[in-house]
Amino acid sequence: MSLRLDPRADASIGLRLAVSFASGLVALLIVAIPVMAAGGNPFSAYLLMAQGAFGSMFALSETLNRATPLILTGLAAAIAFRARLWNIGAEGQLYMGALAAVLVGSGFLQLPPALMIPAIMIAGFLAGGLMMVVPTILKQRFGADEVVITLLLNFVVILFVQMLIEGPLKDPLAMGWPQSVPLLAEARFDKLIPRLRTHWGLLVGLLAAILLWLMVRKTVLGFEIKAVGENKAAARFAGIPVDGTMLKVALISGGLAGLAGVGEVAGVKFYLSADLSPGFGYSGIVVAMLAGLSPIGSVLAAIFIAAVFVGADSMSRATGISSYIADLVVALSLLCVLVGSFFLRFRLILDNRKAEA
């Protein structure tokens, strides 16, 4: 008697989302152990987390505000991973998008007010996209590993941003605080709800998810991305321009991460600083994996992760349990998704046949 692994047929999107949902529940069950070790009641802690994330209009606004950049960085990772292009640089691409938005929207360029918001969005998209196109070209021409390049570029970009906000972009009215000059009023996103922080960047993220879903499902480019992700050699033999498809994916992926940076400076802070992102680019990878690389699923996964972080802060103030429990939930959710993805690809078969002599 022995166990063997047999490949499964392609799992449906519904089944993948079900695995992601179950992974989140399993992660919450596992996290109950350290919660109890800290002297808390898991049911009370999770109830407080839910109330802190959705229990009031203010809480819901904070959750959606936190989810907005996660939707875009999740989409950035999802579209790249579909083509087997491993974009680990969404954090740096986010900062480049934010930097481009500040350069265009703070008065360095004289533009009509009506064109200011479209201009900063285009600039942010192109800046983030370029940060992914360059590693992709290096991969195609020299066989460079895009994982290493995109990961290291995160640190290069953040140091570059720090240099600029301490130098030529520093706001002289910030009383020495390291931040850039602010965006002009016409370059800022309006609030969706008065006196709350949710802004039009959320609609940008939702629209991007819908457009990406339509592209993947209904367009030739979507078919080419799937073919390249499944088998590059077969796609090239079938006449699909593999290198061109990869460059398009790189531009879209980096551009979406750049839009996340635009949303943070145009909708939340209105200036660029080194602490603009608490890791939205890295969390976007978790969002994409939880969503099974689904654009629509990325929206739901982003809201889940945002709710965990926002709710954990509220729960921590009420119970004294560390808010770092949120990082544990997210990490375990990712691990559970990876395990679930393995069993989506393979099934365990109990083989009762006797080994031949």
* Interval 340-355: pLDDT, tens: 777 777 776 766 665 4
Say how far apart CA 265 and CA 123 lie, in whole Å: 13
Residue 357: pLDDT above 50? no
For 40, 69, 73, 136, 290, the CA distances from 295, given in Å and listed in that order, are 36, 14, 11, 22, 11
Burial class (CB in 10 A: 0-12, 13-18, 19+), 266: buried
Q: What is the pTM (predicted TM-score) of this model?
A: 0.91
**Averaged over 267-275, what is the pLDDT?**
91
pLDDT of residue 343: 73
- Asked if the structure places residue 295 within a domain, the reply is yes
For 1, 28, 286, 291, 318, the CA distances from 32, given in Å and listed in that order, are 37, 6, 21, 23, 17
Q: Measuring CA to CA, which residue among 168, 170, 205 is closest to residue 75?
A: 205
Q: Measuring CA to CA, which residue among 272, 279, 288 is closest to residue 333?
A: 288
pLDDT of residue 147: 93
**Domain hosting residue 67, numbered range:** 2-351
Number of folded domains that form the chain: 1
The larger pLDDT score, comparing residue 109 to residue 305, is at: 305
Q: Which helix (H) or strand (E) holds 216?
A: helix 201-218
- Asked if the structure places residue 320 within a domain, the reply is yes
CATH number at residue 337: 1.10.3470
Describe the crossing of helices 280-290 and 295-319 by its angle, rounded to 10 degrees.
120
- Asked if the structure places residue 292 within a domain, the reply is yes
- Asked if the structure places residue 172 within a domain, the reply is yes
- Positive or negative, the CA dihedral 261, 264, 274, 304 is negative
Q: Which residue has the tokens 């936190």?
A: 66
- Asked if the structure places residue 123 within a domain, the reply is yes
Say how far apart CA 90 and CA 153 lie, in whole Å: 10
